[in-house]
Structure 1
Amino acid sequence: MAEPQLDAVGAGNPSAPTVFFLSDSTGITAETLGNTLLTQFPSRHLERRTIPFITTVEQAHEVVAVIDRLADSGPRPIVFSTAVGPDIRSVLARSRGHFFDLFGAHIGQLEGALGSSASGQPGQAHGVGDAVRYQSRMAAVEYAIEHDDGQSLRALERAELILIAPSRCGKTPTTMYLALQHGILAANFPLVEEDFDTLSLPKPLLPFSHKCFGLTSQPVRLSQIRQERRPGSNYASLTQCTYELRNAEDMYRANRVPYVNSASMSVEEISATVLQRMQLHH
């Protein structure tokens, strides 16, 4: 079992509160739920630290000692925990941070609703679901990799979704997220210079226009992203980005392709929007 990593905690901005995501498993759930709550406070700068695999009471005490040292020397830390074991949860709750027990806050209510006791075993969120569901997600990931950035046009008829957009608008992370999290067979196709000569969709996509969903962005934001990839190039210029985005949106409207501006959206938000507007559910 991996040991919790406690080195270099609090080495960032000393005036910013440190947010801890604590777990006796991977910490992914604590991060997801905690960060979802923190999005409601976008103006606050926060140092984030995930400590997974807290599997013994001794490790829990070590983590509490770190949190308490920070509480004594600076802003009181914020602590999100999804630890399941009652002994470990009890130790973590005694830290001098602002403690949010994301597991214990609702488990009692759920026990009452289901008429049975919780197992108290960590890691139960992983491996949930049957083998068929797992295999479908892996197949979707393989499909997304094969059909990333228009690399393959094979079996496009199998696609449940085809994301289209100019380069660097978020096509790849969105299709990968939809595949891994939702098992959606998603391809993505880049719009390039020659596609803007007319308002028509690229020829390979014409039979599948009902599966297409477009992404767009803000010209300044797109230019910044492209500058990181090809600094000083025409590809990254504000003029070129403005041209491509304007023409892409004209194409979407002409072909009744739904689209969303991804400039200020997370991949989770983009994916949720795509699922809802395309009515894709697994």
Structure 2
Amino acid sequence: MSDPSASLVRAAYFVSDSTGITAETLGSALLANFPGVVFQRHTIPFVDTPAGARNVVGDIQKSATQGSVPLVFATVKSAAILQEFQTSGAVVIDLLGGHLRELEDALGSTASEQLGQYHGVGDMERYFARMRAVEYAIEHDDGQSMRALDIADVIIIGPSRCGKTPTTMYLALQYGLLVANYPLTDDDFPSDGLPAPVAQYVDKCFGLTTTPLRLSQVRHERRPSSTYSSLAQCTLELRRAEDLYRRNRVPFLNSSTKSVEEMSAVIMQSLRLRS
């Protein structure tokens, strides 16, 4: 039986009285459970007055005339602003309301409606930690620098184009982890051990692999009709890499069917890392 939602197109609005990051992250996590629906996404931050909300409501109502009832994911603390969205005719999902009430009951205190409360000292400390992590990731991308590997939380290794860089950047930006990545090349395989620059940090290493066909396709976009992108070369490199991981007891995963979020979660769990 075919999925009745497969042909649906729904407008999804992520609205917030702050940056919109929380609304977009939580809302997208919920929408990911409905792969058969196509979502037209709109992120609208800093809606911090009823008048501003009414402007957004106008856009929502216009999209409602063009298809199915829109969805609104809101992280708005003001009841007056939230009420404006309730008049839009959209399905409004208040991502804070129920949880704030639960916290008020648990803490015996009333939540403040003052805007900007999400960005206290703790948030600033996390922000700067993540920026330092991003700087570290950029410096250590693709084996460009071997400096300060002793302070790395993770060293991702793998053949070229297996997903090392996006995973590195996600772990740095999302969790503030210090992550380096190192490309495995033909020069690294004559030895049974890990490449010399990372060998002493084997406990921090995590390997990536993929399928030969997928790797060949990705490399072909970069260097078409080359030995580098040939299926034979990709098959050889991946087999050598996986043998290397097993010999040195380096945990690894196949990136061909996993999102960067899934890979990051597996890496953190495998190496027992905390953000």
CA offsets 1:172-198 (integer angstroms, 9 cap, x no match): 222222223323221110111222344
CA offsets 1:199-231 (integer angstroms, 9 cap, x no match): 431122221111110111233332332233223
Question: Aligned residue for 2:151?
Answer: 158
Question: Aligned residue for 2:217?
Answer: 224
Question: Aligned residue for 2:234?
Answer: 241
Structure 1 contact 19–48 (Cα < 8 Å) conserved? yes
* SS of structure 2 residue aligned to 1:17: strand
Residues 1:90 and 1:245: Cα distance change in structure 2 (over 3 Å): same
Alpha-carbon distance in structure 2 between the residues aligned to 1:50 and 1:105: 22
Alpha-carbon distance in structure 2 between the residues aligned to 1:259 and 1:42: 27
Bigger mean CA deviation after superposition, 176-185 or 25-34: 176-185
Structure 1 residues 196-275: aligned runs within 5 Å: 196-275=189-268
Question: Aligned residue for 1:66?
Answer: 59
- TM-score w.r.t. the length of structure 2 is 0.89
Determine whether 1:27 maps to 2:13: no
User: Cα distance, 1:102 vs. partner?
Assistant: 0.6
Residues 1:138 and 1:101: Cα distance change in structure 2 (over 3 Å): same
User: Cα distance, 1:87 vs. partner?
Assistant: 1.3
CA offsets 1:105-132 (integer angstroms, 9 cap, x no match): 3211111111111111333323451665
Instruction: Name the % identity.
Output: 56
Question: Aligned residue for 2:48?
Answer: 55
Question: Aligned residue for 1:192?
Answer: 185
Alpha-carbon distance in structure 2 between the residues aligned to 1:135 and 1:71: 41
Residues 1:135 and 1:60: Cα distance change in structure 2 (over 3 Å): closer
Question: Aligned residue for 1:140?
Answer: 133
Question: Aligned residue for 1:98?
Answer: 91
Residues 1:212 and 1:54: Cα distance change in structure 2 (over 3 Å): same
Structure 1 contact 201–255 (Cα < 8 Å) conserved? yes
CA offsets 1:12-55 (integer angstroms, 9 cap, x no match): xx961111111111111111101111111122222211111212
Residues 1:224 and 1:250: Cα distance change in structure 2 (over 3 Å): same
Alpha-carbon distance in structure 1 between the residues aligned to 2:138 and 2:30: 32
Alpha-carbon distance in structure 2 between the residues aligned to 1:17 and 1:220: 34
* SS of structure 1 residue aligned to 2:38: coil
Alpha-carbon distance in structure 2 between the residues aligned to 1:130 and 1:41: 32
Determine whether 1:80 maps to 2:73: yes
Alpha-carbon distance in structure 1 between the residues aligned to 2:170 and 2:120: 18
Which amino acid letter does the alignment assign opposite residue 206 of structure 1? Answer: A
User: Cα distance, 1:133 vs. partner?
Assistant: 4.6
Alpha-carbon distance in structure 1 between the residues aligned to 2:263 and 2:154: 13
Structure 1 contact 83–122 (Cα < 8 Å) conserved? no
Paired residues in the alignment total 269
User: Cα distance, 1:266 vs. partner?
Assistant: 2.3
Alpha-carbon distance in structure 2 between the residues aligned to 1:41 and 1:175: 28
User: Cα distance, 1:243 vs. partner?
Assistant: 2.3
User: Cα distance, 1:100 vs. partner?
Assistant: 0.8
Residues 1:60 and 1:68: Cα distance change in structure 2 (over 3 Å): same
Alpha-carbon distance in structure 2 between the residues aligned to 1:195 and 1:125: 47
- TM-score w.r.t. the length of structure 1 is 0.87
CA offsets 1:239-271 (integer angstroms, 9 cap, x no match): 322222222112111111001122232222211
Residues 1:105 and 1:131: Cα distance change in structure 2 (over 3 Å): closer
Structure 1 moving runs of 4+ over 4 Å = 130-135
Alpha-carbon distance in structure 1 between the residues aligned to 2:27 and 2:128: 29
Structure 1 contact 83–103 (Cα < 8 Å) conserved? yes
Alpha-carbon distance in structure 2 between the residues aligned to 1:117 and 1:36: 28
Q: List gaps (5 residues or longer) in structure 1.
A: 1-13
Which amino acid letter does the alignment assign opposite residue 264 of structure 2? Answer: S
